[in-house]
Amino acid sequence: MTVHSFQEHFDNLIDREITIEPKDWMPDDYRKTLIRQISQHAHSEIIGMLPEGNWITRAPSLRRKSVLLAKVQDEAGHGLYLYSAAETLGVTRDDLYDQLHSGKAKYSSIFNYPTLTWADMGAIGWLVDGAAIMNQVPLCRTSYGPYARAMVRVCKEESFHQRQGFEIMLTLSKGTEVQRKMAQDAFNRWWWPSLMMFGPPDAESPHTEQSVRWRIKRMTNDELRQKFIDVTVEQAKILGLTVPDKNLKWNEERGSYDSGAINWEEFWNVVKGNGPCNKQRLETRKKAWDEGKWVRDAAMANAEKRKQRKEKAAQAA
Amino acid sequence: MNNKNEWPLWEVFIRSKAGLDHKHAGSLHAADEKMAIENARDVYTRRQEGVSIWVVESKHIHASDPDESGSLYDPANDKIYRHPTFYNLPEEVKYM
């Protein structure tokens, strides 16, 4: 087949909603875009463990601690599923780590905000995981097989993440005045960054059209953001908390909430590395990687030694 | 490429419950087979998804070439008589 007919065959599979698998021919841009998107997502899971890890030893009860530990462990797992999916596209794990550690690859900017109080564990689960789920559910039907299968697993596991966060918020909002205020404060700080998680507005998102065509993206940033706002505002009512947006108003005609303008300047500033915790997050991650080097080397040396011993024994027999 | 020190890649297969086949779950990196099984337990069976785990180093997997699917599966294409629905039975034959 010529490149032209390969392309035609690929387009045909995409149009018929047939899954693309690692050994199938695919356009270079499709491969590159997927590697970028999947690895960004994997990095986000790995960096995403840090803000919550911060509270594991300070969880208010053994139950909360077990739950938080399980959630953070899931995030490690999700990072691993996604790195594996990216590796099927011909990039190595070490390359991916290099890209993260050198700052070349991005991760979700939300994790560059600090976790100041216990209520932040509630707000992150409820809002950040809520937004992530909204983003991820359509990706269970994405065109690239290994990615779609990883997302099915991730989504199945993630719904407990959001529920445990909502439960923390519910407990706080029904608690003492100080606890209620703590919940509202966390909500105030995490609401806008959560809305930014869906990415820049459609008008400024040049790759959206191509990605939707390839079924790497299944809904636009603005569509997903609106969906998240509509669902979350109702949940805030149950919590008795106030959405920190004076311009929020139900629009009868659209059947959706109208909301205030997002501070995109802040968003781009955090993306560029100037958020409150960018430096700290990356340094913590690099430190963990560097200090783990002797363990990785020792495990490899041990495996090598055991292999040689086995071979020798086989020869002697 | 930069993977000189990287732990090898393993494919993980999991039997979800007794009586079922092992099914491909995903892959992971590990220094040896023992660590691969332990990592597979942590990565792929956090919610009791399995009762048995197989790991195979990815380099030992041989796969068919998707570009040759046409000719590879062609011989089975026109042999519809291999399916029971190919045969017409009189209505009196109730169970067969």
Q: What is the ipTM of this complex?
A: 0.88
- Residue in A with minimal Cα distance to B8: A300
B26:A150 CB<8 A? yes
| CA of A1 vs chain B CAs: smallest distance (Å) | 9
A84:B31 CB<8 A? no
Q: Which residues of A touch B6 (CB under 8 A)?
A: 92-94
- Are A173 and A239 in contact, with CB atoms under 8 Å apart? yes
- Residue in A with minimal Cα distance to B46: A74
Which of helix, strand or coil describes residue A111?
helix
Q: Which residues of B touch A90 (CB under 8 A)?
A: none
Dihedral (CA of A278, A283, A288, A290) sign = positive
B31:A300 CB<8 A? yes
Give dist(CA B27, CA A40) in Å, integer: 19
The residues that bridge with B10 in the sheet, in sequence order, are: B28, B57
What domains appear along chain B, each with residue ranges and CATH number?
A: 9-61+68-86 (3.10.20.520)
Which of B27, B35, B42 lies closest to A84 in CB terms? B27
A95:B27 CB<8 A? no
B77 confidence band (pLDDT: 50, 70, 90): confident
pLDDT of residue B1: 43
- Are A111 and A188 in contact, with CB atoms under 8 Å apart? no
B16 touches chain A (CB under 8 A): no
A303:B26 CB<8 A? no
Q: Which two tokens stand for residue A59?
A: 């969880």
Q: Is A293 exposed, middle or buried (0-12, 13-18, 19+ CB in 10 A)?
A: exposed
- Residue in A with minimal Cα distance to B65: A23
pLDDT of residue A42: 98
The alpha helices in A174-277, defined as continuous H runs, are 177-196, 208-213, 221-239, 264-269
pLDDT of residue A4: 77
- Residue in A with minimal Cα distance to B41: A77
- Are B35 and A299 in contact, with CB atoms under 8 Å apart? yes
Give dist(CA B27, CA A38) in Å, integer: 15
pLDDT of residue B96: 86
Q: Is the pLDDT of residue B35 over 80?
A: yes
A258 touches chain B (CB under 8 A): no
- Residue in B with minimal Cα distance to A306: B32
A303:B31 CB<8 A? yes
B32:A307 CB<8 A? yes
Question: Which of B32, B33, B62, B72 should one mutate to test binding to chain A, selecting the residue with the greatest count of A CBs within 10 A?
Answer: B32
- Are B52 and B14 in contact, with CB atoms under 8 Å apart? yes
pLDDT of residue B2: 46
pLDDT of residue A173: 97
Q: Which two tokens stand for residue A308?
A: 């040689």
A73 touches chain B (CB under 8 A): yes
Q: Is the pLDDT of residue B18 over 60?
A: yes
Average per-residue pLDDT in chain B?
92
pLDDT tens for B39-74 read 999 999 999 999 999 999 999 999 999 888 888 888
pLDDT in tens, chain A (317 residues): 677 789 999 999 999 999 999 999 999 999 999 999 999 999 999 999 999 999 999 999 999 999 999 999 999 999 999 999 999 999 999 999 999 999 999 999 999 999 999 999 999 999 999 999 999 999 999 999 999 999 999 999 998 999 999 999 999 999 999 999 999 999 999 999 999 999 999 999 878 888 989 988 889 999 999 999 999 999 999 999 999 999 999 999 999 999 999 999 999 999 999 999 999 999 999 999 999 999 999 999 999 999 999 999 999 87
B27:A306 CB<8 A? no
B32:A302 CB<8 A? yes
